[in-house]
């Protein structure tokens, strides 16, 4: 039985459609491969000439670019596909919505690439990394704000892809009839807006930056993350303190690395009056010279206070950052106590008690001294 001409024509149309779709997919992959091959070639040239490359392009743009090319090529051949009208129209709208979403994904990837390009030349792990922390903080906050704008614009573009104007009429009516609701929502969104504005203030006035050492609520830690609504502080014991952004604008706090990372530290010794201070001063200098944690800027030993029982001796030292300072202070305490134990064990704080007793012969009362260590 011979197939009818209509069936043969239908088969030919679908074979041609499959050919078009396959060609569109192949073209999209070829364009994607050529584009990223050129970028890869530039990356190799940069590596040969020791110029900083951009690996973030592959991490953030490779997959969205591939899908954008595929969707554009499929949409370009869509009018020639033998799809019935009742199915073709919603399918075309679905492809347009998908393309808008993919373009938003690609734009977000571009924001990440921009952030990496801005922060690539700055090493946040360096000792004196004030400028690096400044750039990282500003780029981090701006990235989140740009991503928020992209999401809003992308959602608006998705609504514009629908041909039904009633969607806009319904939205306009809802906004026009929501006067009281708008006031309520504005009041409810006040903390969010306040945190957003606080984030902009923090990004440009820089009371804190990423990796800053701060003391907040009596806790010592480092700024780990700055979002659009809160700040994550990594405490020394690996706990996380979540603080609203507005806290750093409205409340006082300590920032140990505001201008530079080097700090002064102290180790206090409480000894008896009999200890020779010069010997302690010389040994303290020896301890600092032997430690790689000391930055060789400040080394001072002074008697800072006297009481009726003890003498307070302050060992003042400097270090490159807060972590080195804490470790150096611990080392100094251990070494100084060890030096006193080995050389002047009698110089630890003592409590003296004096008593008097009269002899039976009427001689001058003799004084008896006893010491309680």
Query: What string of DSSP letters covers 91-108?
Result: HHHHHHHHHHHHHHHHHH
Give dist(CA 325, CA 263) in Å, integer. 7
Structure-model confidence comparison of residues 23 and 219, the more confident one:
219
Q: Is 217 helix (H, G, I), strand (E, B) or coil?
A: coil
Q: Please tell me whether the overall predicted TM-score, pTM, comes out greater than 0.85 for this model.
A: no
State the DSSP string of 35-102: HHHHHHHHHHHHHHTT----THHHHHHHHHHHHHHHHHHHHHHGGGS---HHHHHHHHHHHHHHHHHH
Note the pLDDT of residue 306: 92
Q: In this predicted structure, what is the pLDDT of residue 182? A: 44
pLDDT category, 155, cuts 50, 70, 90?
A: confident
Q: What does the pLDDT average to over 344-366?
A: 65
- CB 109 within 8 Å of CB 61: yes
The per-residue pLDDT for range 82-109, each reduced to its tens digit, is 666 667 777 888 888 888 888 999 999 8
Rounded distance, CA 214 to CA 234, Å? 10
Domains and CATH numbers, the chain: 5-121 (no CATH), 162-260 (2.30.30.60), 263-348 (3.30.70.100)
Identify the top-confidence range among 57-66, 166-175, 240-249, 359-368.
240-249
What length is written for the chain?
373
Confidence of residue 4 (pLDDT cuts 50, 70, 90): low
Can you tell me the mean pLDDT for 243-247?
87
H/E stretch holding 180: helix 179-188
For 71, 81, 129, the CA distances from 21, given in Å and listed in that order, are: 11, 9, 53
d(CA 217, CA 215) in angstroms, rounded, equals 7
Give the containing element (helix H, strand E) for 295.
strand 294-306
Closest CA to 212 of 141, 132, 116: 132
């Amino acid at each position: 039985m011979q197939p009818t001409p209509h069936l043969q024509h239908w088969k030919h149309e679908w074979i041609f459609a499959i050919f078009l779709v396959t060609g569109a997919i192949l073209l999209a992959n070829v364009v994607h491969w050529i584009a990223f091959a050129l970028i890869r070639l530039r990356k190799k040239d940069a590596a040969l000439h020791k110029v900083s490359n951009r690996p973030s392009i592959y991490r953030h743009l490779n997959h969205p670019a591939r899908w954008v090319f595929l969707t554009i090529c499929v949409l370009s051949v869509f009018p020639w596909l033998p799809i019935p009208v009742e199915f073709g129209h919603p399918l075309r709208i679905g492809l347009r919505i998908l393309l808008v979403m993919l373009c938003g994904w690609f734009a977000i990837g571009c924001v990440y690439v921009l952030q990496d390009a801005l922060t690539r030349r700055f090493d946040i792990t360096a000792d004196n990394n004030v400028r690096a922390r400044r750039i990282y903080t500003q780029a981090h906050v701006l990235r989140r704000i740009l991503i928020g704008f992209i999401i809003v614009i992308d959602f608006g573009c998705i609504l514009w892809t629908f041909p039904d104007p009633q969607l806009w009429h319904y939205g306009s009516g809802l906004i026009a009839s929501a006067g009281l609701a708008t006031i309520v929502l504005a009041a409810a969104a006040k903390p969010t807006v306040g945190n957003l504005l606080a984030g902009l203030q923090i990004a440009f006035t820089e009371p804190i930056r990423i990796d800053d050492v701060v003391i907040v609520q009596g806790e010592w830690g480092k700024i780990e993350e700055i979002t659009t609504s809160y700040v994550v502080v990594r405490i020394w014991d690996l706990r996380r303190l979540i603080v609203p952004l507005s806290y750093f604008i409205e409340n006082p706090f300590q920032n140990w690395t505001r201008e530079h990372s080097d700090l002064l530290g102290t180790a206090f010794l409480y000894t008896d009056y009999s200890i020779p201070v010069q010997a302690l001063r010389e040994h303290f200098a020896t301890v600092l010279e032997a430690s790689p944690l000391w930055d060789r800027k400040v080394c001072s030993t002074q008697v800072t206070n006297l009481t009726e029982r003890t003498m307070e001796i302050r060992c003042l030292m400097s270090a490159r950052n807060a972590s080195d300072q804490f470790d150096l202070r611990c080392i100094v305490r251990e070494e100084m106590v060890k030096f006193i134990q080995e050389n002047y064990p009698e110089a630890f704080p003592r409590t003296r008690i004096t008593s008097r007793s009269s002899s039976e012969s009427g001689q001058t009362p003799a004084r008896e001294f006893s010491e309680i260590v």
